[in-house]
A = this chain, B = another copy of it.
Amino acid sequence: MTTLEPGYDTRSRILDAARQLFAERGYAATSLADIASAVGLTKTAVAYHFHPKDRLAAELLAPAAQDIVALIESEFDDEHAFLEALVTFVVRHRTIIRLIMEDIGGADSAPPGSPGEVIRAFRDCIYARLAGPDPGPAGRVRAWAVVGSLQYAVVKTSDLPEEVVREALLTAASAAYGSSA
């Protein structure tokens, strides 16, 4: 490990390939062999670096962790301020947003304390803030519509520059969010 350039490290190359494949096909639909062939290795080589498959997801999710806790612990005076922070978060971590929104923690209950548990709590918290306390049917529909718009828009436009997506998404989401009145 004389050359410490992180971009050419095998671990980093695996992480990059995994991030892209997870974003395209989802976590469960991407096998270790898929990732391995994308990097030019065997699946056992990938498994050597990331022992359970979960570690791959965990390592990809790690950079977003602080932003997650910042998002759920901060208080926002304006509802629009929260939405803006949420959009910023989603756009910044758009390459792994599918892992957060869909893949990690499906119907099966992960053991308590696992990353899946944390992610689910995060999602519930986001939804609760969007829907507000004791939401009516229209409020529920509206909150889920905002969540869906964030995820889809961000995942399907990964080729666009971050700032462009952020701007357009903020406009669309805040319009949908404020459509109750």
B165 x A176 contact (CB < 8 A): no
Interface stretch (choices A60-68, A114-122, A134-142): A134-142
Q: Is the beta-carbon distance between B168 and A138 smaller than 8 angstroms? A: yes
Interface size class of A (residues with CB under 8 A): 35 or more
In this complex, what residue of B is CB-closest to A127? B156
B138 near A148 with CB under 8 A, answer no
Option from B146, B151, B160 in Cβ contact (under 8 Å) with A140: B160
Contacts of A161 on B, CB cut-off 8 Å? 137
CA gap between A137 and B154 in the complex, in Å: 12
Q: Give Cα distance in the complex from A115 to B157, angstroms.
A: 26
Q: A156 contacts B144, CB within 8 Å? A: yes
B164 touching A137, Cβ below 8 Å: yes
Rank and list the top 9 A-B pairs by shortest CB-CB distance, nearest first.
A148-B152, A175-B179, A145-B149, A148-B148, A176-B176, A141-B168, A138-B168, A145-B153, A149-B149
Pairs A–B under 8 Å by Cβ, sample size 13? A25-B106, A25-B107, A137-B168, A138-B167, A141-B153, A142-B153, A145-B153, A145-B173, A148-B149, A149-B176, A174-B179, A176-B176, A176-B179
